[in-house]
Chains A and B, each alone.
Chain A
Amino acid sequence: MNYEEIAAKILKNIGGKENINTAWHCATRLRFKLLDENKAKTETIENIPGVITVVKSAGQYQIVIGNSVGKVFDSLADQAGLENKENQAASTNEKKDSLVNRFIAFISGTFTPFLGAMAGAGILKGLLALLVALGWLKTTSGTYEIWYAAGDALFNFLPIFLAFTAAKRLRVNQFVAVALAAALVYPTLVTVATKSQTLHFLGVPVVPTTYTSSVIPILLAVWVLSYLQPILDRIFPDAIRNIFTPLFSLIIMVPLTLIVVGPIGSGISNLLANAVSGVYNFAPIIAGIIMGAFWQVFVIFGVHWTFVPVMMNNIAKMGYDPLLPILAAAVLSQAGAALGVFLKTKDEKQKTLAGSGVVTGIFGITEPIIYGITLKMKRPFVCAVIAGGLGGAIIGAFKAKASSFTLPSLLALPTYLGKGFIGVIIGISVAFVLAAILTYFFGFEKSSSQATVSDQNLSQTGELVTAPVTGTIIPLTSVHDQVFASEAMGKGIAIVPTDGTLKSPVAGTVSAVYPTGHAIGLISDSGIEVLLHIGIDTVKLNGKYFKTLVKKEQHVTVNQELIKFDLEKIKQAGYDPTIMLVITNSKQYQITATQETVAKNNWLLQLDTKHDH
């Protein structure tokens, strides 16, 4: 491919450099904001050899190139004399941005399926705390104990829930992941951790860490499992795989997680707790800012645990702890951010979630808010951090004290009575109100609401259809075959392949094979009809360059090899190798397509069964 030629032709037909407002690129597409899209000659551009197709979406004029987009972009930037700094920044920002964004999106994505349950449990916990505070219920009563378990179980065993959803996303055996999580919160291990005894695994010390209610450790573990499982699957033959892969997954992963993740988490935790305590001693305001702003961040990473013994120790030795009241600011700042979202958002679901979040937040439970709204939308989280920091500073300045250990919330106010109480009142009010105001005015970005729409579509536990081949993803409507592009056969997606193995995108049965081997029909175990068609008009090749590896009625698993085809020879013979994946019974589903543009072992489509109204 002559990148200069391609770039030159694109530049010429896009209206010249004068028509370019901004230009950057992602993994597979050149992306432009043009001053006048009508000046761009789309048909001509699509016919440039090297250009796969043109897609217009999200206000951008996108030219799909494939893997070598970087080189085309560099040449284009050169020829157009685009300011290198700006565009380098644009593409690196996209990359840097993507890593942080992807991290956050991944974390919040693992929570979305059970957010409703979490919010509900949170409200129950809050109600119970309220009833106890009002004196209507005693903590020693059976009623309280049972309802407390009902509300707290989800939070206590949080890793199990996260393991389930993360495993689904990463295409790992969900039950192995859950077993792994359950092992982390296994009663005997929890007792050991709370007693701070050190276990030894084959001689290696295992630092006791509490994994209950934690987030990052289990996500890391499932992520590692997603690399381990395919390796184990390859080692064990089909017949024993079902048992041996889980067996070895558990044998390896549980100790690995306990040995590696535990110490790292505890180490960071210890450092933080000691550092902040030290800071408080000589500059309480600064400690107030740190704790008020970053407490919720510590909680996300699970490094907040060693603060607890420090606080309890303070209460034991001095009769009070100065750090707890500051946390109230952190908690209420999240509640305030939730209020801001509640008032501003027009999305029904978000409004309800935010509203319930305000309530649970006031009672001290912030997980539903953080994972359901503020972290996902990023800006509200930042607003909460700022407000929390300010509130914390005030509380620190007044040297407020907590006389006993309680979950920081509005209900814990009685424990802050005494010197500095005014500071607490002012501090948490500031935190709450400021967070709400900041979120209301600055918490929303046009693009973030676009992102949340697609995130919310992922909240149902729909069926995922994964990529059958590696390559560049393009919309089905862009393929150069009217029958497919018009979606007459159904909705779907297309991939311009970079390798010659077609793998099954679902688990199901082969419903149709063709002697010509260029297409295959599958019905997934859940009833999704998938038609895979390799290349355009390739039926004319009459089977040359295609080899079908499966038979009709055969049951296949996800990623099982279906057809091998000679990509190069097909292209040389002059055929467009684009692979079309069509859901022929798409009318029954609400289909969400991936935002990614590179296909490699990730999901392409999520199908949610439509419910009759």
Chain B
Amino acid sequence: MEKKNFHIIAETGIHARPATLLVQAASKYNSDITLTFNDKSVNLKSIMGVMSLGVGQNADVTITADGEDETDALAAISDAMKKEGLAE
């Protein structure tokens, strides 16, 4: 199991467009991937779950990947976060 913390810098937080891309990125991998915010965890492969967390600017979140391709998964998600300007 691997995890990584992110600090959200995007003004509108994890919203529609970036949320979709994150979910798409996560869904490519077999590992179970969760997004945790304020002690609430959701499946990062479900848009509904991600958006229901309501992650806004300046939020601190943790993404956990558990499975064979956990390392690759986390790397890809990190990339996506940076590309979308969600986190540094």
With A584-B46, A584-B47 as known contacts, state yes or no: A512 contacts B52, CB within 8 Å: yes
Which of chain B's residues have a CB closer than 8 A to the CB of A521?
A: 48, 51-52
- The residue of chain B having its C-beta at the shortest distance from the C-beta of A511 within the complex is B52
Which of chain A's residues have a CB closer than 8 A to the CB of B16?
A: 483-484, 489, 519, 533, 539
Which of chain B's residues have a CB closer than 8 A to the CB of A540?
A: 12
Which of chain A's residues have a CB closer than 8 A to the CB of B53?
A: 512
Q: For chains A and B in complex, what number of residue pairs have CB atoms within 8 angstroms?
A: 47
Which of chain B's residues have a CB closer than 8 A to the CB of A513?
A: 54
Q: Is A163 an interface residue (CB 8 A)?
A: no
CB-CB contacts below 8 Å: A520-556 with B: 521, 523, 529, 531, 533, 539-540, 552
CB-contact partner of B47 in A490, A514, A515, A516, under 8 A: A490
Cα distance A521–B16 in the bound complex, in angstroms: 11
Verify A585–B48 contact, CB threshold 8 A: yes
CB-contact partner of A515 in B17, B24, B51, B56, under 8 A: B56
Further 14 A-B residue pairs, CB within 8 A, beyond A488-B20, A512-B51, A585-B46:
A483-B16, A483-B17, A488-B21, A489-B16, A489-B47, A515-B56, A519-B16, A529-B48, A531-B47, A531-B48, A531-B51, A533-B16, A552-B52, A585-B48
Verify A514–B54 contact, CB threshold 8 A: yes
CB-contact partner of A539 in B15, B20, B48, under 8 A: B15
Distance in Å from the Cβ of A22 to the closest Cβ of chain B?
40
Rank and list the top 4 A-B pairs by shortest CB-CB distance, nearest first.
A512-B52, A584-B47, A529-B48, A483-B17
Partner-A contacts on B (CB < 8 A) = 12, 15-17, 20-21, 24, 46-48, 51-54, 56
Cα distance A490–B47 in the bound complex, in angstroms: 9
With A539-B12, A584-B48, A585-B48 as known contacts, state yes or no: A512 contacts B54, CB within 8 Å: yes
Q: How many residues of A contact B (CB 8 A)?
A: 22
Distance in Å from the Cβ of A581 to the closest Cβ of chain B?
13
Verify B48–A512 contact, CB threshold 8 A: yes
Q: List 28 A-B contacts (CB under 8 A).
A: A483-B16, A483-B20, A484-B16, A488-B20, A488-B21, A489-B16, A489-B20, A490-B47, A512-B51, A512-B53, A513-B54, A514-B51, A514-B54, A515-B54, A515-B56, A521-B48, A521-B52, A529-B47, A531-B47, A531-B48, A533-B16, A539-B15, A540-B12, A552-B52, A584-B47, A584-B48, A585-B46, A585-B48
Distance in Å from the Cβ of A176 to the closest Cβ of chain B?
33
Distance in Å from the Cβ of A76 to the closest Cβ of chain B?
37
Which of chain A's residues have a CB closer than 8 A to the CB of B12?
A: 516, 539-540
With A539-B12, A539-B15, A540-B12 as known contacts, state yes or no: A511 contacts B20, CB within 8 Å: no
Which of chain A's residues have a CB closer than 8 A to the CB of B56?
A: 515
Cα distance A484–B47 in the bound complex, in angstroms: 13
Cα distance A539–B13 in the bound complex, in angstroms: 10
- The residue of chain A having its C-beta at the shortest distance from the C-beta of B53 within the complex is A512
- The residue of chain B having its C-beta at the shortest distance from the C-beta of A533 within the complex is B16
Cα distance A516–B16 in the bound complex, in angstroms: 13
- The residue of chain B having its C-beta at the shortest distance from the C-beta of A510 within the complex is B52
Cα distance A483–B15 in the bound complex, in angstroms: 11
Cα distance A523–B51 in the bound complex, in angstroms: 13
Cα distance A483–B56 in the bound complex, in angstroms: 20
- The residue of chain B having its C-beta at the shortest distance from the C-beta of A540 within the complex is B12
Cα distance A483–B20 in the bound complex, in angstroms: 8
- The residue of chain A having its C-beta at the shortest distance from the C-beta of B19 within the complex is A489
